[in-house]
Amino acid sequence: MSLKALIFDVDGTLATTESDGHLRAFNEAFKLLNLGWHWDNATYSELLHISGGKERIAHFIEHFQPSGQDLGGEIDIAKIHQLKTDIFVGYVAQGCVSIRTGVARLVDEAIECGLRLAIATTTSMQNVEAILAGGGLSSKFELIAAGDVVQNKKPAGDIYQFVLDEMGLSANECIVFEDSAVGFASASSVGLKTVVTLSEYTKSTVFEGALVVVDHLGEKGEPFEVISGNPSPHFFVNVEYLKELHEQHC
């Protein structure tokens, strides 16, 4: 089958959201609520193995036994997460979060070539809409599957299966873009093939079975580096290169 659609993760893949966005927002929310919590880079790196902000907070409470208020109820976690989301959206509006190298170029080229575009993420719809608006990508995606649209979040494959079902596509008609082991496992579990663009927290991760692992999607004046996969004559990820990868592996 021919390549018909590209599916993008958001955090760390479509945009650089983590250390200057989500992590800062979590810590600011904790401070405003006088919780006495602070996530450093090492803690946050470990927590990134848990998908979803509310789930991340719950995991932190259960496994790190933080000092501060005696929390644990879902309502409290939801309130913390909503405050964090409001702060994060403010950061996006201030320009603290940027679209990753090559993403806007590839999105426009894909549309010109008739490829369908979707998003599959566990971040909230509010976050996604803010990121897309800030990057000039609003209305570029046919489907945005975000937040709690499915019960089981990544690494479960539910979010990707939801996208396939909603768009009426099979796995071998799509290519996914991910940056994390959790996201890669989610896509792989429903038979999707993935281009991995390493991010700040996943540079040392091994992605066995990816179509290719690159540092970013590249631009004409800023070529990508192939970290894992067959060498390529291409200097940036474009539709032609994706069709070649699809023909070889899908």
Full DSSP string of 180-202:
SHHHHHHHHTTT-EEEEE--TT-
| pLDDT(72) > 80 | no
Q: How far apart are CA 152 and CA 68, in angstroms?
A: 29
CATH superfamily, with its number, for domain 18-93: Putative phosphatase; domain 2 (1.10.150.240)
List the catalytic residue out of 9, 40, 86, 215: 9
- Tell me, yes or no, if 11 is annotated catalytic: yes
In this predicted model, which residue has the larger pLDDT, 148 or 15? 15
- Tell me, yes or no, if 9 is annotated catalytic: yes
Tokens matching residue 19: 């250390």
| pLDDT (average), residues 122-128 | 92
| pLDDT(74) > 50 | no
| pLDDT(218) > 70 | yes
Measuring CA to CA, which residue among 103, 100, 34 is closest to residue 71?
Answer: 34
Going by their DSSP bridges, the two strands 193-197 and 212-214 should be labelled as parallel
Full DSSP string of 121-185:
-SS-HHHHHHHHHHTT-TT--SEEE-TTSSSSPTTSSHHHHHHHHHHT--GGGEEEEE-SHHHHH
- What does the pLDDT look like over 237-250, one tens digit per residue? 999 999 999 999 87
CATH superfamily, with its number, for domain 5-16+97-249: HAD superfamily/HAD-like (3.40.50.1000)
| pLDDT (average), residues 11-17 | 95
Task: Decide if 149 contacts 141 (C-beta within 8 A).
Answer: no
List the catalytic residue out of 11, 108, 158, 215: 11
Q: What pLDDT is recorded for position 67?
A: 63
- What does the pLDDT look like over 177-196, one tens digit per residue? 999 999 999 999 999 999 99
- What does the pLDDT look like over 107-118, one tens digit per residue? 999 999 999 999
Domain with CATH 1.10.150.240 in the chain: 18-93
Domain with CATH 3.40.50.1000 in the chain: 5-16+97-249
The residue with tokens 């940036």 is: 236
| pLDDT (average), residues 141-145 | 98
Q: What pLDDT is recorded for position 73?
A: 46
pTM over 0.85, yes/no = yes
Q: How far apart are CA 177 and CA 8, in angstroms?
A: 5
Residues in a beta bridge with 213: 196, 228
Q: Is the alpha carbon torsion for 100, 101, 107, 108 positive or negative?
A: positive
Task: Decide if 39 contacts 201 (C-beta within 8 A).
Answer: no
